[in-house]
Amino acid sequence: MKEAIRQRARELGFDDCRFTTAAAPDHSPALQKWLAEKRHGEMAWLERNAEKRIDPQKVLAEARSVITLATSYETKTRVTEDEKGKTGVIARYARYADYHDVLREPLKSLTDFVNQSGADTRSLWYVDTGPLLERDFAQRAGLGFVVKHTNLISARLSNWIFLPDMLTTLEL
């Protein structure tokens, strides 16, 4: 089943696809401490959804697996006529179409594929918009490793990657 999901993910344009359990993320205690110390500033939603971030079962009852995906945004495009002469620093991921919009349809398609894989399978997908600690799951699944600057680095894809993920009741 994993290989079929991985193949479908590649067909939909994802650069990598890995799997891990839906057990609590490794950094749950650190997140709780960070929130208790009020280090999240004005990001009130982090505190509001903290119980979901540390317990995937509160996001999707009976969740068994997390499918972690990687989509590279490292591009080697030339500067267009439109961009010449413009100044300012813009984050690489923000130079193009909004990745939330770009990844929505492929994620919906992959979710439909996964949900058709087993009786009563339910799945939820997120592109850094949900209460999942995607870096923890991506690292645990083997997509890469989190380093000092807190980004996940993939040996194959570098750290210029989006980390969409899917929580599912399917045992993978």
Number of C-alpha atoms within 13 angstroms, CB side, residue 114? Answer: 29
Measured CA to CA, the distance from residue 130 to residue 117 in angstroms comes to 23
**128 is known as an active-site residue:** yes
- Through-space distance between the first and last CA atoms of the chain, rounded to whole angstroms: 8
- Per-residue CA distances from 13 to 64, 82, 121 (Å): 25, 27, 23
**Residue 58 — φ and ψ, nearest 5°?**
-85, -10
Mark residue 38 as left, alpha or beta (left: phi above 0; alpha: psi -120 to 50; beta: remaining): left
Q: Which of 15, 55, 101, 128 is catalytic?
A: 128
Could you tell me the two tokens for 119? 């009786």
Q: What's the rounded Cα separation, in Å, for the pair 168 and 172?
A: 9
Catalytically annotated residues: 128
